[in-house]
A and B are shown apart, each in its own frame.
Chain A
């Protein structure tokens, strides 16, 4: 295992272009992801935010090559030089764990309760690199140490239920990273943990992202997580990109109405007492029946007829993109004050 930090940059290691993912259900089709394009470079953390049901988890699964058989993907997902879309199960297998790793929300259920930690952490090495049991355990101990697990050698022989939540999640992260993939997808990695542990795990992601020089995709519904730990933000709504850009830009000058609404619903220190917490009225749209036009229009206070007529084209300002016909900062007052110094 190399300890030297890998160089960041040198072109994006993950390139997604025009990704559509449809999921075939017995009686309908869910258009979980529509026309998503994003990039991530080594050492960079991209936060993918959105409400439950916006398609971010499906996007994560697609990036990790784990879409179920009822899912059909179109477009392009490139890991380095390798195109993932269109690959069959047998072709995807060597990619998993070696070029892209994934961490799920609940560490308790991500680990097999009847197998010891050491075996599970080292599993990818044995499967993908043909490592012997002993070598895999050695590497596992090393990795557990790197993820900050105390007394790693002792933990090797333990079972998952003997570890605390935070330790389990670290073990899961170790298992996902043991082959040092270039990309890590983390789907709500801290949602099942308590606040203190959350902070620790997020810091761990920061550190590993630098040390291993990997691109991290942090999928979450929590704007606070994104604010503190993502270099760039990708806001999703109803399967589509709403807005994307650098974190400071998104938080400092959000343009899409949805982003503004999300930020407005976050409780902050200086939110005046006795003020109402901003909420977004209505519910996310039904992804089986795509509406023409902007998916957020039914819930948007600034929506006009044109919004519902056709999907708004993307506007760009440098690497800040948004798809909104009546973006914030234009004639009407925004839902949210512009400056968010505390997020910087």
Chain B
């Protein structure tokens, strides 16, 4: 188990380094160079030259990379001239809100999808399964923004159950207005559940078809013993790994949700940065989200290894 941990940990570090290289390249591939990108279109050549000198952009590239990387690791993610604040500060304000939104939604999604998937697998091809499969397939095929707007239309506008816009302000202000959180959370949860319940269903079906289930039955095991004593653990492993792999998907769902509901998280921040060509902020978000994804993926794999001992010994997983 420790060897597995070390191996996966080392892989994660390599991936993070590669992410940093990619982000660095993006920063420097911008038209006009990073100086022009950061200072904006109206920068004069003098400004650009001064900026370059001040920021060490006239040094060789590997040196620049090193400076940049050490800066990032010590918390300096650059400065946004558009918003006149350090990127780190902006992220610091908004990251907790997104983490909360995404975290709650994902937990809810898993809590719903896993039992639903189990139910579908056990009631395979009966009415309940067909109904749920149809609903999740349709949900899965609907653009997330449409889901969001339908929810707003039905729950906020027509039924006046919850407000249409997300809570604004600081993190504590956001937490203090739970009814406004309902729709954003519901959107992300619905979209995620659609994907997960299908997968859970297949995973459970795969396990139920395995010989060891037959073997357990031949020893007198009943349904409950088989489901909870055997299948649950085995089917959970792939679902956990899927969770790790789905983080990018969840991120994009969250971004769109933040946009629709005007939720002050890093998704909306990134979008606004994109439209105002505020590259430092955009790239700052990329780094943070990428790092979170790598770590999340690592945690998911570790959980899978705890659940399934074969994973611990498999050479070259993924």
In the complex, A touching B (Cβ < 8 A): yes
A residues in contact (CB < 8 Å) with B: 64, 66, 93-98, 101-102, 104, 106, 109-115, 123-124, 127-128, 159, 161, 172, 175-176
Shortest beta-carbon distance from A122 to chain B in Å: 10
- Among A97, A106, A161, which residue has its beta carbon within 8 angstroms of that of B219? A97
B36 on the A face (CB < 8 A): no
| Interface stretch (choices B129-137, B150-158, B176-184, B304-312) | B304-312
Measured in the bound complex, the distance between the Cα atoms of B313 and A176 in whole Å is 28
Would you list 29 pairs from A and B whose C-beta atoms are within 8 A, ordered by A residue?
A66-B218, A93-B222, A95-B220, A96-B218, A97-B218, A97-B220, A102-B215, A102-B218, A104-B215, A109-B211, A109-B212, A110-B211, A110-B214, A110-B215, A111-B212, A112-B212, A113-B308, A113-B309, A114-B233, A114-B309, A123-B219, A124-B219, A127-B219, A127-B225, A159-B309, A161-B310, A161-B313, A176-B218, A176-B219
B210 on the A face (CB < 8 A): yes
Measured in the bound complex, the distance between the Cα atoms of B310 and A159 in whole Å is 8
Residue among A113, A161, A172 having the largest count of chain B Cβ atoms under 10 Å? A113
Measured in the bound complex, the distance between the Cα atoms of B217 and A148 in whole Å is 25
Measured in the bound complex, the distance between the Cα atoms of B307 and A344 in whole Å is 51
| Cross-chain pair count, CB within 8 angstroms | 71
Cβ–Cβ contact A175 & B230, under 8 A: no
Measured in the bound complex, the distance between the Cα atoms of B234 and A128 in whole Å is 24
Cβ–Cβ contact B309 & A94, under 8 A: no
B221 on the A face (CB < 8 A): yes
- Among B210, B221, B237, B310, which residue has its beta carbon within 8 angstroms of that of A123? B221
Chain A residues near B307 (CB-CB < 8 A): 114
Chain A residues near B313 (CB-CB < 8 A): 161
Shortest beta-carbon distance from A246 to chain B in Å: 29
Q: 6 tightest A-B contacts by CB?
A: A124-B219, A109-B211, A97-B219, A112-B212, A96-B220, A110-B215
A104 and B214 in contact, given A114-B308, A127-B225, A161-B313 (Cβ under 8 angstroms): yes
A94 and B220 in contact, given A109-B210, A161-B310 (Cβ under 8 angstroms): yes
Cβ–Cβ contact A113 & B234, under 8 A: yes
Residue among A93, A102, A112, A172 having the largest count of chain B Cβ atoms under 10 Å? A112
Measured in the bound complex, the distance between the Cα atoms of B221 and A241 in whole Å is 32
Shortest beta-carbon distance from B65 to chain A in Å: 43
Measured in the bound complex, the distance between the Cα atoms of B219 and A265 in whole Å is 37
Cβ–Cβ contact B219 & A112, under 8 A: no
B216 on the A face (CB < 8 A): yes
Cβ–Cβ contact A96 & B310, under 8 A: no
Cβ–Cβ contact A128 & B219, under 8 A: yes
Measured in the bound complex, the distance between the Cα atoms of B252 and A93 in whole Å is 49
A114 and B214 in contact, given A127-B221, A159-B310 (Cβ under 8 angstroms): no
Chain A residues near B215 (CB-CB < 8 A): 102, 104, 110-111, 172, 175
How would residues 101 to 123 of chain B score, 1 for a CB under 8 Å from any chain A CB and 0 otherwise? 00000000000000000000000
* Cβ-closest chain A residue relative to B313: A161
Residue among B219, B230, B233, B237 having the largest count of chain A Cβ atoms under 10 Å? B219
How would residues 7 to 47 of chain B score, 1 for a CB under 8 Å from any chain A CB and 0 otherwise? 00000000000000000000000000000000000000000
Residues of chain B in range 31-86 having any CB-CB distance to chain A below 8 Å: none
Shortest beta-carbon distance from A126 to chain B in Å: 9
* Cβ-closest chain B residue relative to A68: B214
Chain B residues near A96 (CB-CB < 8 A): 217-220
Measured in the bound complex, the distance between the Cα atoms of B225 and A101 in whole Å is 18
Residues of chain B in range 201-239 having any CB-CB distance to chain A below 8 Å: 210-212, 214-222, 225, 230, 233-234, 237
Measured in the bound complex, the distance between the Cα atoms of B214 and A124 in whole Å is 13
* Cβ-closest chain B residue relative to A108: B211
- Among A95, A104, A114, A159, which residue has its beta carbon within 8 angstroms of that of B234? A114
Shortest beta-carbon distance from A96 to chain B in Å: 5
Measured in the bound complex, the distance between the Cα atoms of B237 and A112 in whole Å is 13
Chain A residues near B234 (CB-CB < 8 A): 112-114
Chain B residues near A112 (CB-CB < 8 A): 212, 216, 230, 234
- Among B210, B211, B212, B220, which residue has its beta carbon within 8 angstroms of that of A127? B220
* Cβ-closest chain A residue relative to B230: A112
Measured in the bound complex, the distance between the Cα atoms of B215 and A104 in whole Å is 8
* Cβ-closest chain A residue relative to B221: A127
* Cβ-closest chain A residue relative to B223: A89
Chain A residues near B218 (CB-CB < 8 A): 64, 66, 96-97, 101-102, 176
Residues of chain B in range 79-100 having any CB-CB distance to chain A below 8 Å: none
Cβ–Cβ contact A66 & B216, under 8 A: no
Measured in the bound complex, the distance between the Cα atoms of B201 and A308 in whole Å is 48
Residue among B212, B221, B308, B309 having the largest count of chain A Cβ atoms under 10 Å? B212
Shortest beta-carbon distance from A182 to chain B in Å: 15
Chain A residues near B214 (CB-CB < 8 A): 66, 104, 110
Measured in the bound complex, the distance between the Cα atoms of B216 and A176 in whole Å is 10
Chain B residues near A113 (CB-CB < 8 A): 212, 234, 308-310
Cβ–Cβ contact B211 & A106, under 8 A: yes
Measured in the bound complex, the distance between the Cα atoms of B222 and A161 in whole Å is 25
